[in-house]
Amino acid sequence: MSLAALTALQTANTLTEEPAYQVELVSQEGGLVTTSAGFAIDTKPCDGAHFDTLFVSAFVGTAVPPSLSRAVGRLAGEARRVGSFCTGAFVLAAAGLLDGRRATTHWRHLHALERTFPQVRVLRDRLYVNDGKVWTAAGMTTGIDMMLALVEADLGEAAARAVAQRMVMERRRPGGGMQVSDLLTLQPKTDRVETVLAFAKKNLKAPLTVAQLAGVAHLSPRQFSRAFNAATGQSPAKVIERLRVEAAHAMIVASRHSLDTIAAETGFADRERMRRAFLRVHGRSPQDLRRTSRELAAA
User: Which residue numbers are catalytic?
Assistant: 86
For residue 178, give the nearest of 153, 204, 145 by alpha carbon: 145
* Cα atoms in the 13 Å half-sphere on the side-chain side of 260: 0
Picking from 114, 29, 38, the residue whose alpha carbon sits closest to that of residue 65 is 29
Residues 6+ apart with CB under 8 A from 86: 1, 2, 58, 105, 106, 109, 137, 138, 139, 140, 143
